[in-house]
Amino acid sequence: MPQPLRWLPLAGKIRDVPETTPKALFCPTCRKVVLIDNPEFPFCSDRCRILDLGKWASGGYVISSPIHDPDLLDELEGLQHRAKRSTNDSDG
């Protein structure tokens, strides 16, 4: 029998999501299975939590820069130019 679905609003859209949530994940540092009731969740231990923090602090992890779409940039520059022009016209 298929699992029952519940409906959750997400950014103004209705989306079906299974009622169950994961009971375990893999530790992001060592990849061991970590149960959701582990006090160190999502890490398997305090050691893995500290290692992960150290990678963030040393620059081992970075958030990538956004992808620049030339068409989108042109459109945004045009909107900014029009906004400045309309502000200047109203100051006039």
pLDDT digits (tens, 9 = 90+) for 52-78: 999 999 988 887 777 677 777 788 788
Q: The domain that contains 46 carries what CATH number?
A: 3.30.50.10
pLDDT digit string, tens, across residues 42-53: 999 999 999 999
Over residues 3-28, the pLDDT tens digits come to: 554 545 555 555 555 566 778 899 99
Does 25 reside within a domain? yes
Distance (Å, whole) CA 32 – CA 51: 14
What's the pTM value of the predicted model, to 2 decimals? 0.46
Q: 27 is in which domain, residue-wise? A: 21-61
**Is 68 part of any domain?**
no
C-alpha R_g of the chain: 24
The pLDDT of residue 54: 95
Q: What is the pLDDT of residue 45?
A: 95
Output the pLDDT for position 3. Answer: 52
Q: 73-88 burial, b for 16+ CB within 10 Å, e for fewer?
A: eeeeeeeeeeeeeeee
Q: In total, how many domains does the chain have? A: 1
> Counting runs of H as helices and runs of E as strands, what totals does the chain give?
2, 4
CA-closest candidate to residue 55, choices 31, 32, 29: 29
pLDDT confidence tier of residue 33, bands split at 50, 70 and 90: very high
